[in-house]
Amino acid sequence: MYVAIIGYGGVGSGVAELFTKNHDNIVKRSTQAQLELKYILDVRDFTGDPNEHLFVKDFETILNDAEIGIVVETIGGIHPAYDYTLAALKAGKSVVTSNKELVATKGYELLKMADSMNVNYLFEASVGGGIPIIRPITQCLAANEINEVAGILNGTTNFILTKMIAEGMSFETALALAQENGYAEKDPTADVEGHDASRKVCILAALCFGKHVYPEEVYTEGISKVTLEDVEYARDWGGVIKLIGRAARVDKDRISAMVSPAFVPKNSQLASVDDVFNGILVRGDAIGDVVFYGRGAGKMPTASAVVADVIDCAKHVERKKMFGWEDSDKNYVVNYLDVETALYIRAVADEPSTAIKDAEKAFGSVKTLTREGAPANEIAFVTPRAPEKALRSKLEKMQGIKILSSIRITEY
Amino acid sequence: MYVAIIGYGGVGSGVAELFTKNHDNIVKRSTQAQLELKYILDVRDFTGDPNEHLFVKDFETILNDAEIGIVVETIGGIHPAYDYTLAALKAGKSVVTSNKELVATKGYELLKMADSMNVNYLFEASVGGGIPIIRPITQCLAANEINEVAGILNGTTNFILTKMIAEGMSFETALALAQENGYAEKDPTADVEGHDASRKVCILAALCFGKHVYPEEVYTEGISKVTLEDVEYARDWGGVIKLIGRAARVDKDRISAMVSPAFVPKNSQLASVDDVFNGILVRGDAIGDVVFYGRGAGKMPTASAVVADVIDCAKHVERKKMFGWEDSDKNYVVNYLDVETALYIRAVADEPSTAIKDAEKAFGSVKTLTREGAPANEIAFVTPRAPEKALRSKLEKMQGIKILSSIRITEY
C-alpha cells in the first residue's frame, strides 16, 4: 500500500520525517506487508530534500495512481484542500488530515462521501495536535453520554496568557515574543481572536454530541482585550485567565458552543496547562471528568497524530471504521446569551462604594475583588450564576459606572 | 449478540447498570443489530436486584451457550478468573476485564490464546480505571517510539499522600480516613505497599515496550514509611511526594520498571493530580509528553472502560483487533540499583555540619534542605543523579549518620 502527502509545509514534512524515522514499526503496526511513501505534492521546489525524488506538481498523478490508498492532506485552508480531499475520497482513497478549518467547515459532507465510498476520513491531528483525543472520545468513552467538553485548544494564546500571568508581561510584548519564537503568525488574528480554537470546538462538539457545528455558530471572543489588571483580579479570585473553548449539552436537542477568555480556578487541571501546551477536559456521565494534556501544535507532535491515522487507515482497508456525525439545523446551537454563567466585571465608578452597593442590590450578592495599586475609582466583582442575558441586562441598568472588562467564569 | 458478566461486585454491577442506562447508544455504537446482557454469574444471592432474572450459578451455562459472544470478567484475583477466562477464550468468546492482577500475571498467555482463537481479550479498565490509556498508547501513539511511561496509578495511596501534604495529617490518620470513605480495604496492603500500582506498571510496560513484565520483576516500595517530615522537605525542595509507577527503555533490549514514592516537581502535571485521581504520563519520540488524567477507580468510571471494551469486541466480531505482546526473558528488566536517579536523604548526624561537608565531598555537591522545627541533629539533602548503586555505596561509607528516609527524585 502506498501513501501520498499533499502540502509539504511544517506538518507535511514532519509526516515524511516521522514516516522514515520509525518506518519498520509503523509498517508492522499497520498490519500491511508494505506501507511506503510514493508521492509528495507541492507547488514549491525542494531541491536537495531527502525526499526530492517523490515530488510531483500535478494532483492528477496521485489521483490516477491506483496504488495510492491513503492521501495525507496537510495543505491547510479550504481551497484547494477541499477539492483534493473530495476527489481523493471519490476515487476510493482514504484521506488523513490535520486541517481543522476544513473539517470544521466541510466535515459532515466529507465524512458522508467517505462513508459512501467505504473509505476513511480521519483527522486526529486537527484538535490538540498530537494529543490523543478523537479516538478516546469516540471509542474509549463510547459507553458514556458526554455532557460537556472544554479545553485550552490554542497554544499561541496560551503562551501569551502564561507570559502575562507568570511574568506580568503586557499582551503586546507577549504577542511579539510569541512571534519571535515562531509560535504566532505574522498576522496573528486566527489565533489571538479565537478562530482557531473555534474550529476545534466545532470538531469536538460534533464528536461528543453527534451533529455538525459550523464555525459561525460558535460565539467567539479572543484574548486581545485581556489586561494585566484582569490577570491580577483573577489571581485575587483564586485562579488564572485562560482562553477556553467549550461545548455542552443543553437539552436533548440543543447544545451550547463558545470560545472566550475565562477565569479558571487554580485547582482545576486546566489551570496548570501552561505555555504552548493544550489540555482538554471531557465530562461523561459514567467516567466523570477526564483530562488530556500535551503539545497541541508543532511539527513532530502533529505528525505523530497524522501518522497514527495513516496506520489506522492501513489497518482498516477492508473494513471502514464507523465514524461520522449528522448535519444540524439552525436551532441546534443556542445563543450564548442564554447560557448560564457567572461574570467577572471590572469598571470605573463615579462613586465606588455606591456602585458596589448597587451591584449587590442588583445581583443579590457579589464577590468583590481587589488588587494592589488600583486607582481609587476602579471596582471589580464577580456576579452569581445566571443566564448571561439577565446579567448583562442588570449591568446595563447600573448607573455611574463604565465597564472596562467582563470575563466569564468556568466551573472546572 | 449476547453478553455475560462473571462476578457481580462493584465493577460487575456497575457494568450492568451502565449497560442498562445508556443501552440504546451502546447498541448503536457497537454496530450490532442487538447487544443484550444474558447472564450474570455470582455465587451470592441477589434477590430483588433489577437483574435478578439473569443470575446463574454455573459457569458451564455461559460457556456452553453459543449465543454468548462476550464475557465480562469482573471477579478479580487469579483463580477462578484465570480458568474461566481461558475456557471462554478457548470456546471462541471474547473476554473483557478490569482484572489487573490477572493481566499482569497471565496476560501474555491469555492474549496468545485470544489470538489463536481469533477473538479479543481487552482490559482498558485494568489501568487508570476509566481513563482512556490502553487505546491511546497502542493506536494514537502508534507512530511513536515510546521511551518512558510514569504515573500516579493508585487512588488510595494518592488520597493518603494528598491528606498528608495538604492537611498535615499523619499516614496512620489518613489511612484510617481512606478506610472510612471506602477508598481503602480493611487490609490495605495491596494499595499501601504498592502491589496494585506494580501490576499496572507491568501492563503499561508491556503495551509501551512490547514484552510481558511480571509483577515480581518490578521493584516495589509503598508509602507506609513516608513521614510528614519528608513531606515538608519535599516542599522546601519545590515539590510533592507521590507514589510513582514507571517503566523506561534502557536500551534496545532492556527496560527499567519500578514503583516507589518520589519527589515530583511542583510544576509537573503529575504534581497536581490529587485525592483519588490518577494521572499517567507517556513520553514518545515524536509527541513529547502527554498526560491522561481522571478517576482511576470507582464503580462507574471503571464500568465506563469495561463497556467501551464490550462495544469494541462487538464491533470487531469478524475481525480481531491486532493487539498483544511477546514474552520476555530474565534479563529484560534491569536491576533497580542500576537505574540512574537522584536521592533525597534525611538523617540524624552526630555532627550535622561535618556530615553535610562529608556528603558534599562524597557526591561532589548536594542540595541541602531545611524545615521549621527540625531537631538540631537532623540533616536533609538531595544528591546529584547517578546509578542508585553508586549513591547507596557512598551513603554507606558516610560516618556518624543514621539514615531515616531516602526517596527517589523524578524529572517529570
Domains of chain B listed by start with CATH number: 2-129+300-315 (3.40.50.720), 134-295 (3.30.360.10), 339-409 (3.30.70.1150)
**Has residue B187 got a pLDDT over 90?**
yes
Q: Which three three-digit cell numbers place residue B248?
A: 523506561
Identity of residue B213: V
Confidence band, pLDDT 50/70/90 cuts, at residue A237: very high
What ipTM was estimated for this complex?
0.93
Please tell me if residue B227 touches chain A, with a CB cutoff of 8 Å: no
- In this predicted structure, the answer to whether residue A247 has a pLDDT above a threshold of 80 is yes
Which of A132, A143, A285 comes nearest B141 by C-beta? A132
- CB-CB: which of B141, B285, B291 is closest to A293? B291
* pLDDT at residue B319, as a whole number: 65
State the amino acid at position A127 in one-letter form: V
| Nearest residue in chain A measured CA to CA from B298 | A287
Of the candidates B140, B286, B304, the beta carbon closest to that of A284 is on B304
Query: With 90 as the cut, is the pLDDT of residue B318 above it?
Result: no
Is 70 exceeded by the pLDDT of residue B320? no
pLDDT of residue A51: 95
Of the given ranges (A8-17, A20-29, A317-326, B312-321), which has the lowest mean pLDDT? A317-326
Please state, rounded to an integer, the average pLDDT across all residues of chain B.
96
B130 contacts in A (CB within 8 Å)? 286-288, 290
User: Chain B neighbours among A 284-343 (CB < 8 Å)?
Assistant: 284-295, 300-301, 303-308, 310-312, 315, 318-319, 322
Best mutation target among A26, A140, A312 (most B Cβ atoms within 10 Å) is A140
Contact B22 A284 (CB under 8 A): no
Q: What is the pLDDT of residue B322?
A: 63
Q: Which residue of A has its CA nearest to B271?
A: A272
Q: Taking residues A324-331, what's their average pLDDT?
A: 91
Percent composition of chain B: helix, strand, coil (DSSP 3-state, to 5):
40, 25, 35
pTM of the shown model: 0.95
Best mutation target, A123, A287, A412, to test chain B (most B CBs within 10 A): A287
**Number of C-beta neighbours around residue B10 at 10 A:** 18
Model pLDDT, residue A199? 98
Find the mean pLDDT for residues B256-277: 96
Q: Check CB contact of A5 with chain B, cutoff 8 Å.
A: no
**Which residue among the candidates A93, A100, A200, A321 is catalytic per the annotation?**
A200
CB contact under 8 A, A288 and B295: yes
CB-defined contacts A:B, below 8 A: 178
State the pLDDT confidence band at B42, using cuts at 50, 70 and 90: very high
Residue A412's pLDDT is 81
Is the predicted pLDDT of residue B266 greater than 90, yes or no? yes
**Distance separating alpha carbons of residues B102 and B79, to the nearest angstrom:** 9
Q: Quick check: A380 and A233 in contact, CB under 8 A? A: yes
Alpha carbon distance A155, B69 (integer Å)? 45
Rounded distance between C-alpha atoms, residue A144 and residue A208, angstroms: 10
For cell 462476578, the residue is B7
A80 prior amide bond cis, ω within 30: yes
Predicted confidence band at A319 (pLDDT cuts at 50, 70, 90)?
low
A235 in contact with chain B, both atoms CB, cutoff 8 A: no
Terminal alpha carbon distance of chain A: 45
pLDDT-above-90 percentage for chain B: 95
Rounded Cα–Cα distance for residues B361 and B355 (Å): 10
* Residue among B19, B288, B294 minimizing CB distance to A291: B294
Asked if A143 and B300 come within 8 Å (Cβ–Cβ), the reply is: no
Residue A4 confidence (pLDDT) above 70: yes
Q: In the predicted model, is pLDDT for residue A320 greater than 70?
A: no
CB under 8 Å to A24, separation ≥6 — which residues?
A: none
Q: Tell me how far apart the alpha carbons of residues B11 and B125 are, in angstroms, rounded to a whole number.
A: 10
The pLDDT assigned to A322 comes to 63
What is the secondary structure of A311-366 as a DSSP string?
A: HHHHHTSSSPPP---B---TTSBPPGGGSEEEEEEEEEESSHHHHHHHHHHHHS--
CA-to-CA separations, B345 to B113, B165, B225, in angstroms, rounded: 47, 18, 13
Report long-range pairs for B54-60 (Cβ below 8 Å, ≥24 apart).
B55/B8, B59/B6, B59/B84, B59/B87
What pLDDT is attached to residue B316? 84
Taking CA–CA distances from A296, the nearest residue in chain B reads B287
Enumerate the β-bridge partners of residue B4.
B39, B71
Phi and psi at B18, nearest 5°, equal: -65, -40
Residue with cell 454469574: B41
Q: Does B266 touch chain A (CB under 8 A)?
A: no
CA–CA dist A296, A101 (Å, integer): 15
Give the cell for residue A55.
515530488
- pLDDT at residue A317, as a whole number: 78
Task: Please enumerate in sequence order all residues whose Cβ is within 8 A of that of A146, keeping only pairs 6 or more positions apart, or say none.
Answer: A137, A208, A209, A249, A282, A283, A284, A285
Q: Rounded to an integer, what distance in angstroms lies between the CA atom of residue B190 and that of residue B198? A: 10
Position B186 scores a pLDDT of 93
Query: CA–CA separation, A114 vs B268, rounded Å?
Result: 41
Cell 466545532: give the residue. A202
- Peptide linkage before B80 cis (omega within 30 of 0): yes
Whether A118 has its CB under 8 Å from any CB of chain B: the answer is no
Q: Is B68 on the interface with A (CB under 8 A)?
A: no
Does the beta-carbon distance from A124 to B140 stay under 8 Å? yes
pLDDT at B324: 82
Per-residue model confidence as pLDDT tens digits over B336-378: 999 999 999 999 999 999 999 999 999 999 999 999 999 999 9
The DSSP-derived string for A175-242 is HHHHHHTTSS-SS-HHHHTSHHHHHHHHHHHHHHHSB---GGGSEE--STT--HHHHHHHHHHTEEEE
Q: Which of B44, B28, B33 is nearest to B2 (CA)?
A: B33
Specify whether the CB–CB gap between A197 and A259 falls below 8 A.
Answer: yes
Report the residue of chain A nearest B292, measured CA to CA.
Answer: A292
- Cα–Cα distances in Å, from B166 out to A294, B177, B232, B328? 27, 14, 11, 41
Q: What is the pLDDT at residue B367?
A: 98
CB < 8 Å to B285, chain A: 21-22
Tell me if A294 and B290 make a contact (CB, 8 A cut-off). yes
